């Protein structure tokens, strides 16, 4: 069997990491085990649950279904890259404020998908939020508060709450 | 889950990819978005010894009008087909099919070329592309050829692609004015794959009469099937709800679907008529 190793340069949360990987190394394991960024979770491991969602060049993707070698030269944002200094991202705050989590396992992926949605659509309807989170499964079934959390964050990010 | 290890090459051109395919033969697989191949490799349903990544080949992605044809680069991701103004205005049924594949993250990564080359009988693109009479540009070491949809999709997971060929482009004829396209799908509630789906292209004359119709049904066999009896019933008729319903009722004629854990063959045959009606009605309502 092949024991080839490949050197990749991947920028994660603004820091470029040069690392040696096996071709079969999945991006999620590269992030968790080689970089120690364990905020990105492995859930189903079959491209369905979305717990492993990260942004690759600005788009939400499932990092369990991408080889690290495919991300060579790419810019990745993980849940650890959302907060600025000590200030949580509005979507993170929204999940806390609206209790958008129960066990918390799906939360990093939910938040990364919600951030991706709000970048493109700052004023989503409930239906649009649900559609955008179709690729993220919450086994606690806490979807009602997740939608509330995203709406709360959307309002904050638009600045609407100030005028209320 | 970890795939078996493999040798990895990021091809720099289609020519290099075809050379590598010729060199490695059956032991190599092409990698596009990886959203069919990587799951199969994780389950060890596929264990290629070499992966040739097309992801860095310039010029394989994007949508443009080329004469009377919409040209879609094989590495165009589903999200870009779904949001393309060209697709949405000229071929809304195609954008519609792209928008119901998997979920947001899958659509951000999965490619149209990867999907059709994988030829999963429960995939969306093969069905709409069959109705739209698309053709597929295959680049080999010694030249390129263009294959029409009925000659491209051959069987379960089997296409006309030769072992050393690369699918570079999907070409979809732009319908004349007065035509409409649509796609309707019953997704499996867990996987999102097609249980049964229907795609329609209807062309009308100025009086609203149907000049021609193409209806393709997915999920009923090893590859998309044209509903010939439905098409014949629409031909020359005004597209009233009654005409459409009577035509759609024939959508399962000549099909022989398999029963599975989710849906019996009888249910699939029935549901095909329902989704065919939906697709034709929507296509007929589009300008």
Return the percentage of chain A with pLDDT > 70, whole number.
96
Domain containing residue A119: 90-159
Confidence category of residue A160, pLDDT binned at 50, 70, 90: confident
If asked whether residues B88 and B35 sit together in one domain, one would say no
- A101 within domain boundaries: yes
Q: What is the DSSP string of A42-106?
A: PSSSSSSS-TTEEEETTEEEEGGGSBGGGGTT-EEE-GGGTSBTTBPPHHHHHHHHTT--SS-SS
Return the percentage of chain A with pLDDT > 90, whole number.
92
Q: Is the CB of residue A119 less than 8 Å from the CB of residue A55?
A: no
Q: Is the dihedral of CA B257, B261, B266, B272 positive or negative?
A: negative
Residue A49 belongs to domain with CATH number: 3.10.20.30
Name every chain B residue with its beta carbon within 8 A of the beta carbon of A1. Answer: 4-5
Among A81, A103, A138, the domain-final residue is: A81
pLDDT of residue A162: 58
Q: How far is B34 from chain A (nearest CA, A)?
A: 7
The whole-number average pLDDT for the span B245-260 is: 96
Query: Is residue B287 scored above 80 in pLDDT?
Result: no
Residue B66 phi, psi dihedral angles, 5° rounding? -130, 95
Best of B51, B105, B193 to substitute, by most chain A Cβ atoms within 10 angstroms, is B105
The whole-number average pLDDT for the span A137-143 is: 95
- Residue A119's closest CA among A55, A75, A51? A55
What pLDDT digit, counting tens, does each position of B170-184 carry?
999 999 988 999 999
Nearest to B7 among A4, A45, A53 (CB): A4
Q: Which residues contact B113 (CB under 8 A, 6 or more apart)?
A: B32, B60, B73, B74, B75, B76, B167, B168, B170
Structure tokens of B100?
């119901």
Q: What is the DSSP string of B43-71?
A: TTS---SEEEE-TT-TT---EEEETTEEE
Q: Return d(Cα A151, Cα A141) in angstroms, integer.
A: 18
What ipTM does the predicted assembly reach?
Answer: 0.95
Query: Is residue B238 scored above 70 in pLDDT?
Result: yes
- The number of folded domains in chain A is 2
If asked whether residues B183 and B168 sit together in one domain, one would say no
Angle at B11 between CA B6 and CA B12, to 5 degrees: 160
If asked whether residues B169 and B186 sit together in one domain, one would say no
Nearest to A135 among B1, B4, B106 (CB): B106
Among A64, A81, A98, the domain-final residue is: A81
- A12 within domain boundaries: yes
Return the percentage of chain B with pLDDT > 90, whole number.
96
- B1 within domain boundaries: no
If asked whether residues B93 and B185 sit together in one domain, one would say no
| Residue A39 contacts B where some CB pair is shorter than 8 Å | no
Q: Which residues contact B142 (CB under 8 A, 6 or more apart)?
A: none
Nearest CA in chain B to A43: B1
If asked whether residues A108 and A53 sit together in one domain, one would say no
If asked whether residues A63 and A94 sit together in one domain, one would say no
- A164 within domain boundaries: no
Confidence category of residue A2, pLDDT binned at 50, 70, 90: low
Among B147, B173, B199, the domain-final residue is: B173
If asked whether residues A123 and A155 sit together in one domain, one would say yes
pLDDT of residue A164: 42
- The number of folded domains in chain B is 3
Confidence category of residue A163, pLDDT binned at 50, 70, 90: very low
Name every chain B residue with its beta carbon within 8 A of the beta carbon of A59. Answer: 79, 108-109
The whole-number average pLDDT for the span B148-177 is: 97
The whole-number average pLDDT for the span A128-148 is: 96
Q: How far is B7 from chain A (nearest CA, A)?
A: 6
Whole-number average pLDDT of chain B = 97
- B15 within domain boundaries: yes
- A1 within domain boundaries: no
Residue A124 belongs to domain with CATH number: 1.10.150.120
The whole-number average pLDDT for the span B64-88 is: 97
What pLDDT digit, counting tens, does each position of B200-219 carry?
999 999 999 999 999 999 99
Domain containing residue B246: 179-285
């Amino acid at each position: 069997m092949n024991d080839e190793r490949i050197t990749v340069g991947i920028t994660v949360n603004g820091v470029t990491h040069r690392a040696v990987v096996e071709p079969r190394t999945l991006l999620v394991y590269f992030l968790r085990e080689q970089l120690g960024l364990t905020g990105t979770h492995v859930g189903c491991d079959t491209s369905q649950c979305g717990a492993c969602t990260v942004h690759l060049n600005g788009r939400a993707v499932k990092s369990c279904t991408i080889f690290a070698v495919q991300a060579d030269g790419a810019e990745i944002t993980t849940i650890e890259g959302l907060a600025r200094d000590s200030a949580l991202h509005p979507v993170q705050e929204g999940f806390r404020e609206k209790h958008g989590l129960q066990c918390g396992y799906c939360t990093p992926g939910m938040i990364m998908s919600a951030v991706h949605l709000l970048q493109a659509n700052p004023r989503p309807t409930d239906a649009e939020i649900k559609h955008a989170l179709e690729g993220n499964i919450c086994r606690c079934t806490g979807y009602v508060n997740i939608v509330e959390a995203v709406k709360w964050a959307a309002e904050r990010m638009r600045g609407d709450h100030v005028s209320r | 889950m970890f795939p078996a290890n493999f040798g990895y090459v990021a091809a720099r051109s289609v020519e290099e990819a075809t050379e590598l395919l010729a060199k490695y033969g059956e032991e190599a697989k092409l990698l596009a978005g990886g959203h069919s191949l990587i799951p199969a490799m994780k389950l060890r349903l596929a264990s290629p010894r070499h992966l040739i990544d097309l992801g860095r080949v310039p010029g394989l992605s994007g949508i443009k009008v080329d004469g009377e044809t919409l040209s879609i680069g094989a590495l165009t991701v589903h999200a870009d087909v779904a949001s393309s103004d060209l697709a949405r205005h000229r071929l809304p049924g195609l954008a519609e099919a792209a928008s119901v594949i998997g979920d947001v993250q899958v659509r951000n990564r999965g490619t149209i070329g990867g999907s059709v080359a994988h030829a999963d009988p429960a995939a969306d693109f093969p069905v709409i592309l069959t109705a739209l009479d698309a053709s597929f540009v295959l680049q080999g070491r010694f030249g390129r050829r263009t294959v029409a949809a009925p000659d491209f999709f051959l069987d379960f997971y089997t296409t006309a692609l030769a072992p050393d060929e690369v699918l570079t482009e999907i070409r979809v004829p732009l319908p004349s004015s007065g035509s409409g396209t649509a796609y309707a799908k019953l997704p499996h509630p867990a996987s999102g794959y097609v249980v049964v789906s229907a795609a329609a292209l209807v062309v009308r004359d100025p009086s609203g009469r149907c000049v021609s119709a193409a209806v393709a049904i997915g999920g009923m066999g090893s590859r998309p099937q044209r509903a010939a009896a439905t098409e014949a019933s629409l031909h020359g008729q005004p597209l009233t709800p009654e005409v459409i319903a009577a035509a759609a009722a024939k959508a399962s004629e000549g099909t022989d679907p398999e029963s599975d854990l989710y849906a019996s063959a009888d249910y699939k045959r029935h549901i095909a008529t329902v989704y065919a009606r939906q697709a034709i009605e929507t296509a007929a309502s589009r300008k």
